[in-house]
Structure 1
């Protein structure tokens, strides 16, 4: 591909992840992004750097490919532009993989085949790969939908002690369900509670497996998050490890990080680098893991087949996320060696005063304060080059809303 082509990012979605990628493209190349989505969400509202074009039903295969074909038809004569397709949600990443061959004929598509996507998205298959590649994960039991009638017996025979974690194996089909008390993930304290929640989930029509896992002890400061970019020749070009120190306590936000500090761990990176290159992965990947003090191991929860929601942390640390794709496909910069990002900034997703109030570790609090005082911090959605009064007001309100969320939902996790 010609190195002098104009760059046009096409982002799929309109959420927080989309804004982070739009900001990365704007910071690196001064270009605005186009976002195709099923609806307009608040993180990209009133933005001057991303043009959101809502399309009803865009998250369904039929409408998705129709919209994409129409886009290709309307722009196929524009041979001077490199159209870079970036999925910013699980559903959109799957849709791109479903139509990868067709889309790749026009777009730059840093994604894997649908077969590999399905294998990695399914946690049972992913954990089998973890066994093969010696990547630890929590002790796990799968609950099949067809076994929903035997929930009482299954729960009574679970091989590990409470508290436990309960979460869906298929996050996409789970998103479509509605029922009282719905959460992204559940921290279960008793067998009675486990039975009640499982029955409620399957009564709602959820058709896939649920996952029950041993709860790794420790608060949010035991979490780590790894963002990776693998080039079109399956070389891991960039690895950025972050030390997540606080998560959103609200039911709809479980698993969303609110503060990340830079971190390094050669062993984690070595294992995951070998895994990704050996399976011939392509594109962005994001791993969530937690340190288990019982055996001294970092245990993987999942792989996200896209950049993480908080991946602007990588750009903030000096390694622009958008540049990974541009250097690979547009500028065709040859691979020389993996870049291990060593940042000196704290990424924040909530007010700093709230972070330091709810993080118990004094060393980590002092590090947040040091970086903040030095000006080495950033919020994904607060971008000085995109500062209309309406947008700034809306995003500031979204940040300070976390005070009420913590007051209502926060509970200390077991140490």
Structure 2
């Protein structure tokens, strides 16, 4: 069965968890496909990406609305404790939960039996999440499936500095390396000076300094002290790729989409998040991703981070994330709205495999001149061509938001400011000189990319 444009309907209400760009992107995709007004559920505050939008309703959960304000899953607790209120608010509607963060996925999985009585959602089992959410576990399973991964050393910060350094030395892994949490869940909630999502380390002195900081700051947080060291695959941002999949209720990968990254976010707390990319089909990257997911009997969305080694052209898979990903709108922009197959699976019991017919689009949360500046050669010409043809997409800039109103003026100001302030961020964290040192921003993948996988 092939994918078709569905008629507008209001049989269901999407409840999107979170308040960032990824949440707005999902809500926008819903609003563009159906005559339905999504709901965004956020804890304590309305963040900039969802503020002053007319595409959806926002429910701000206050601490006094849940039994345990200190809960690690406040939004999940709200869903559990306020199902009657939501049903009264949306009578006769099927309530569909759309998680956007790892913690939401874990919360849904751990409370699956109770939540499934009143809500529709699709996430992997707790056992599968535990087996794959660690980068170490992922590397082992990927190896069994003949999927290349970088050398990975895992350890707990509670093992002590000397033991960790001994493990590293004995592994014979050479600098440069990457140090990062084995699983983002647990670590993502911590706040401390010097915190980064990923630590790039060039020598032993840096490694000792960062380990000492992490040992101190994660003390007393058992869910945040499992880390890994991986060999760093060289090459600039243009050697990175992204694959997103959806596995339906029958265990079949009904949907897969891929993209070529141009620039990542280089802010320490968001490093690695896609900032600009070109949507493009890479069958030799999606095939091993599908093999991995179906071999584990996966359910729901998943996304993979991949990088090509400039030295041998080999594509290395770094991890699987059990969620749709914050840059999910690139798929909708490419003509493959992921919410369609998701809703058909859960709400209408219609299952099919979506053919890969991606439009080539420049997806970017950055000013287009900045993307042009950081790319070169044939890749820059591709960017300029897409800009000239207006085949571009900023997830926050929905044409449906436009109207003559104070609300829209406020939203326009936020989106414009958040887009152009990236110039200062890149100047601070990733100046053009550094980008050129890493490679030049001119890598154009060949048609057989990832064939070794």
| Alignment counterpart, residue 369 of structure 2, candidates 353, 364, 373 | 353
Deviation at 1:209, TM superposition (A): 1.5
Where do residues 151-230 of structure 1 align in structure 2 (5 Å cutoff)?
A: 151-205=164-218, 207=222, 208-230=225-247
| Alignment counterpart, residue 60 of structure 2, candidates 54, 61, 83 | 54
Residues in 2 aligned to 1:161 and 1:274: alpha-carbon distance in whole angstroms? 31
| Alignment counterpart, residue 25 of structure 1, candidates 17, 27, 30 | 30
Whether 2:268 is the aligned partner of 1:251: answer yes
Residues in 1 aligned to 2:292 and 2:170: alpha-carbon distance in whole angstroms? 33
Whether contact under 8 Å (1:262, 1:343) holds in the other structure is yes
Residues in 2 aligned to 1:36 and 1:124: alpha-carbon distance in whole angstroms? 32
Deviation at 1:262, TM superposition (A): 2.2
1:395 aligns with 415
What secondary structure, in the 3-state scheme, does the structure 1 residue paired with 2:438 have?
A: coil
Whether 2:413 is the aligned partner of 1:407: answer no
Residues in 1 aligned to 2:358 and 2:203: alpha-carbon distance in whole angstroms? 42
Whether 2:135 is the aligned partner of 1:135: answer no
Whether contact under 8 Å (1:121, 1:305) holds in the other structure is yes
TM-score, normalised relative to structure 1: 0.94
Whether 2:48 is the aligned partner of 1:42: answer yes
Where do residues 284-363 of structure 1 align in structure 2 (5 Å cutoff)?
A: 284-335=301-352, 337-359=353-375, 361-363=376-378
Residues in 2 aligned to 1:198 and 1:36: alpha-carbon distance in whole angstroms? 36
What secondary structure, in the 3-state scheme, does the structure 2 residue paired with 1:253 have?
A: coil
| Stretch of structure 1 that moved more, 284-293 or 46-55 | 46-55
1:82 aligns with 94
Output one character per residue of 1:54-101: Cα deviation in whole Å (capped at 9) or x when no partner: 224678356444311233222446663121110011111111111112
Residues in 2 aligned to 1:123 and 1:263: alpha-carbon distance in whole angstroms? 26
Moved over 3 A (4+): 56-59, 61-66, 75-79, 151-158
Residues in 2 aligned to 1:144 and 1:66: alpha-carbon distance in whole angstroms? 30
2:450 aligns with none
Residues in 2 aligned to 1:334 and 1:193: alpha-carbon distance in whole angstroms? 51
Deviation at 1:5, TM superposition (A): 5.8
Output one character per residue of 1:176-226: Cα deviation in whole Å (capped at 9) or x when no partner: 333322111111111100110011011012532111111101100000001
Whether contact under 8 Å (1:35, 1:51) holds in the other structure is yes
Whether contact under 8 Å (1:5, 1:80) holds in the other structure is no
What secondary structure, in the 3-state scheme, does the structure 1 residue paired with 2:320 have?
A: strand
Residues in 2 aligned to 1:339 and 1:276: alpha-carbon distance in whole angstroms? 18
Aligned length: 411
Deviation at 1:9, TM superposition (A): 0.6
TM-score, normalised relative to structure 2: 0.86
2:104 aligns with 92
| Stretch of structure 1 that moved more, 158-167 or 378-387 | 158-167
Residues in 1 aligned to 2:323 and 2:367: alpha-carbon distance in whole angstroms? 26
Residues in 2 aligned to 1:211 and 1:56: alpha-carbon distance in whole angstroms? 36
Whether contact under 8 Å (2:42, 2:75) holds in the other structure is no
Deviation at 1:30, TM superposition (A): 2.9
Whether 2:84 is the aligned partner of 1:68: answer no
Residues in 2 aligned to 1:32 and 1:71: alpha-carbon distance in whole angstroms? 20
Whether contact under 8 Å (2:76, 2:108) holds in the other structure is no
Residues in 2 aligned to 1:342 and 1:67: alpha-carbon distance in whole angstroms? 38
What secondary structure, in the 3-state scheme, does the structure 2 residue paired with 1:162 have?
A: coil
1:379 aligns with 394
Gaps of 5+ in 1: none
Output one character per residue of 1:272-297: Cα deviation in whole Å (capped at 9) or x when no partner: 21221221111111111001133332
Residues in 2 aligned to 1:25 and 1:135: alpha-carbon distance in whole angstroms? 34
Deviation at 1:123, TM superposition (A): 1.7
Whether 2:138 is the aligned partner of 1:121: answer no
Output one character per residue of 1:289-308: Cα deviation in whole Å (capped at 9) or x when no partner: 00113333211111111111
Residues in 1 aligned to 2:79 and 2:390: alpha-carbon distance in whole angstroms? 41
Residues in 1 aligned to 2:249 and 2:71: alpha-carbon distance in whole angstroms? 27
Deviation at 1:152, TM superposition (A): 4.0
Deviation at 1:51, TM superposition (A): 2.2
Output one character per residue of 1:376-402: Cα deviation in whole Å (capped at 9) or x when no partner: 111000111123110110111000010
Deviation at 1:346, TM superposition (A): 1.1
Whether contact under 8 Å (1:31, 1:49) holds in the other structure is no
Output one character per residue of 1:16-48: Cα deviation in whole Å (capped at 9) or x when no partner: 110000000000013221112223221111111
